[in-house]
Amino acid sequence: MRVKSLHHVSFAVTNLAQTRRFAQDFGLHTVSDDGQRLFMRTSGGDAWCYRAEQADARAFLGFGFAVESEDDLAEAVERHGATPIRTLDTPGGGLGVTLTSPAGLKIDLVTGIRGEQAGDPAPGLRLNEPGERSRLAVPQSHRELGPATLFRLGHIGLFLSDYAASAAWFETVLGMKRSDSLHPGNPAVTIVGFYRLDHGADWVDHHTLFLGQSDRTDAHHISFEVQDYEAQFRAHRWLEKQGWEPNWGVGRHPLGSHVFDVWFDPDRYRFETFSDTDVVNCNHEPGHYDVHTQDMDMWSSDSPERYFA
């Protein structure tokens, strides 16, 4: 099977109203909220991409991929032990099944969900560079101050207690492809993997899944695409002004190239914006690098420790 795209993430949260306030400041829009269960979406046309449920303790409840058709759901049931196909009671309807990964993660596969009308991106930046002026007698476009415009849920990072078994499972069951990986000084051991969707010769993000060996299995971060780095700097200042806690960024990763900015939600799960990602296809040759030789942020020499704590 080849999954089509990342569709949603689900969390248990300890104060749903506060989570909603954070997520709205971050750029998500509320689809429904009954005080116990909150659904939110981006401005990019999804019916929903974020679910939070009121609970006594924070928890990562799982995530989901969209697949092409009901045939993929049937394959997941027959070959990979997914739950029976069910009609979804979530926004936009559709059909879904749930798989359980080797580490016990609940991973939904969904199809046939009716999306929303996508919003328009802001006018792109036209940059006047030294020696190359392209914006002549025109001021830079003005954008409203406020929460970022999020275009889609782009990738998820996972802590895994069983990296090798889980990575193999994502490859064989969901058809994910390794774009790059890191080892701890011994190339025979892999501790971090960047996995992309398999769309053959079509271009896809460098990674849709970031997997990291850990002593636990949990969400590491969820990441939403924004228009460009100006949108990220503006969102950064906005979130700062609302009193939320930054984690890391604005910076640029070397693997995947994207500009990142990471914030803690009220339960200290990480929300990230990204822009300007590398895209690759089936001709991409994966790299396998020593983690000690890899800077995580090309714009600073800050240790990424706080990013992985």
Q: Where are the alpha helices (DSSP H) in 96-228?
A: 163-174
CB closer to Fe ion, 44 vs 256 = 256
Q: Least distance in Å: CB of 24 to Fe ion?
A: 21
CB closer to Fe ion, 47 vs 150 = 150
CB closer to Fe ion, 92 vs 212 = 212
- Which residue's CB comes closest to Fe ion? 223
Taking the CA of residue 177 as centre, how many other CA atoms within 13 Å lie in the half-sphere pointing to its CB?
Answer: 21
Q: Least distance in Å: CB of 156 to Fe ion?
A: 8
The tokens 């997914």 sit on which residue?
82
Binding status of residue 273 toward Fe ion by CB under 5 A = no
Please choose, out of 7-15, 136-144, 223-231, 239-247, the segment that lies near Fe ion by the rule CB under 5 A. Answer: 223-231
Phi, psi of 193 (to 5 degrees): -135, 140
Q: Least distance in Å: CB of 175 to Fe ion?
A: 21
Q: Least distance in Å: CB of 106 to Fe ion?
A: 21
**Contact map string, positions 233 to 272, toward Fe ion, x by CB under 5 A:** ---------------------------------------x
Binding status of residue 232 toward Fe ion by CB under 5 A = no
Total residues binding Fe ion (CB under 5 A): 2
CB closer to Fe ion, 181 vs 223 = 223
Binding status of residue 275 toward Fe ion by CB under 5 A = no
The tokens 């590491």 sit on which residue?
220
Please choose, out of 22-30, 44-52, 62-70, 217-225, the segment that lies near Fe ion by the rule CB under 5 A. Answer: 217-225
CA distances from 65 to 175, 240, 268, 272 (A): 12, 32, 24, 19
Q: Which amino acid is at 266?
A: P
Binding status of residue 111 toward Fe ion by CB under 5 A = no
Q: Least distance in Å: CB of 220 to Fe ion?
A: 8
Residues in Cβ contact with 214 at an 8 Å cutoff, skipping those fewer than 6 apart = 159, 160, 161
Q: Which amino acid is at 169?
A: W
What distance in Å separates the CA atoms of residue 139 and residue 142, rounded to the nearest whole number? 8
Burial 161-200 (b: 16+ CB within 10 A, else e): ebbeebbebbeebbebbbbbbbbeeeeeebbbbbbbbbbe
Q: Where are the alpha helices (DSSP H) in the chain?
A: 16-26, 70-80, 163-174, 229-241, 305-308
Q: Least distance in Å: CB of 161 to Fe ion?
A: 20
Determine which residue in the list 223, 227, 232, 273 makes contact with Fe ion, applying CB under 5 A.
223
What distance in Å separates the CA atoms of residue 66 and residue 43, rounded to the nearest whole number? 18
Q: Least distance in Å: CB of 66 to Fe ion?
A: 19
Question: Which stretches of the chain bind Fe ion, using CB under 5 A?
Answer: 223, 272
